[in-house]
Amino acid sequence: MKLNICCIPGDGIGPEIVKEAKKVLNKVAEKYGHEMNFTDILMGGASIDVHGVPLTDEAIATAKASDAVLMGSIGGDTNTSPWYKLEPSLRPEAGLLKIRKSLNLFANLRPAVLYPQLSGACPLKEEISAKGFDMLIMRELTGGLYFGERKTIEENGMLKAIDTLTYTEEEIRRIAIKGFEIARKRRQKVTSVDKANVLDSSRLWRKVVNEVAKDYPDVALEHMLVDNCAMQLVKDPAQFDVILTENMFGDILSDEASMVTGSIGMLSSASLNDSKFGLYEPSHGSAPDIAGKDIANPIATVLSAAMMLRFTFDLDEEATAIEKAVEAVLDKNYRTCDIMSAGCTQVGCSQMGDLLTAEI
């Protein structure tokens, strides 16, 4: 099979971790007889430095022309980087929002799994972590507050900032369908998270999710308010299978869920549109403080590449080979510094890539 993959190394540790993911993918290609063509584009700060904007139309066209996009991470230190002196629409994050919207990537899948080998890293009490957990946050990614109209005006000598939160029935329905479809392949449970006791957009969310649920009688549905969900994630994370939620709630809850695993350097994500096309990226950020030191954990990016093989290319065997390689390296007690514990062997980013490649 011929795979045309657009890569976004991005900023901070992005280039290092994407390099290791390519290494692993090339080994997969060699072993299973595929042809992988990688085309790099600039996004975020890397693009600002060259083009003055976080994402050019040419870069979007290259991404659109490929089968899938594999991304590292974008952004810098918001306190010190000159990128954050630019107006908001020219900052690194604007590039990410633009590519999501341009490619219609409305469904964001963020798994949060407690790996048994890493359960010691889980910050929760042992009586809670002992149960293990394996949830998937399905976040709506191209609507809501992050894409509504916004402005700052002056009214009676006072500055006033306005952000608007809108959702159409259709935007809710298509993400709900994705949520129920994926729950069907997992443990058949959807927890839909909203703030229906206050927000109109949440009341519409709940109504549409209830309608969609009628087509999935095999999937159990519950509704949960977002503030309660934030508590439940630390109290009893094992109760969750698929968490279905809107853009901002999903942004916040997915960070919380990844922290609860204790190993954010292990968590992958996929952003999908209505076809097989997707953008795959680690759930963690660009970690500018450790960039260029060869100590970052490339596993989240490598696992994102596995998600890409599975969702975009239907290459289940190859995806499983990557996931098994990760387990094997963990079983042999190799760890990057973020997941290091006593008795294990600490390795750097490129060495971790080599170890994973050797297991394929």
Q: Which residues bind Mg ion (CB under 5 A)?
A: 251
Candidates 33-41, 76-84, 93-101, 155-163; binding stretch for ligand IPM (CB under 6 A): 93-101
Q: Which of 130, 133, 145 is nearest to 242 (CA)?
A: 133
DSSP, collapsed to helix, strand or coil, labels residue 304 as helix
Q: Are 18 and 81 in contact (CB under 8 A)?
A: no
**H/E run at residue 194:** strand 189-194
Residue closer to ligand IPM, measured from CB, 21 or 43: 43
Residue closer to Mg ion, measured from CB, 264 or 352: 264
24 binds ligand IPM (CB under 6 A): no
For this structure, is 195 an active site residue?
yes
Dihedral sign computed on CA atoms, order 210, 212, 216, 219 = negative
Task: Work out how close the CB of 267 gets to ligand IPM at its nearest, in angstroms, rounded to a whole number.
Answer: 11
Site for ligand IPM in 41-80 (CB under 6 A): 75
Q: Which residue has the tokens 């590292």?
A: 72
Buried b (16+ CB within 10 A) or exposed e, 40-57: bbbbbbbbbeeeebbbbe
96 binds ligand IPM (CB under 6 A): yes
What mask of x and - would describe binding to ligand IPM in positions 318 to 337, judged by CB under 6 A? --------------------
251 binds ligand IPM (CB under 6 A): yes
Catalytic residue among 227, 236, 274, 331: 227
Task: Work out how close the CB of 337 gets to ligand IPM at its nearest, in angstroms, rounded to a whole number.
Answer: 23
246 binds ligand IPM (CB under 6 A): no
Catalytic residue among 67, 255, 294, 354: 255
Per the DSSP assignment, residues forming a β-bridge with 194 are: 225
Residue closer to ligand IPM, measured from CB, 117 or 245: 245
Q: Are 146 and 97 in contact (CB under 8 A)?
A: yes
Show Cβ contacts of residue 87 under 8 Å, excluding neighbours closer than 6 positions.
none
227 phi/psi in degrees, rounded to 5? -70, -40
For this structure, is 216 an active site residue?
no
Residue closer to ligand IPM, measured from CB, 97 or 340: 97
CA dihedral 339, 245, 195, 257 (to 10 degrees): -10
Provide the annotated active-site residues: 146, 195, 227, 251, 255
Binding residues for ligand IPM, rule: CB under 6 A, are 75, 93, 96-97, 251
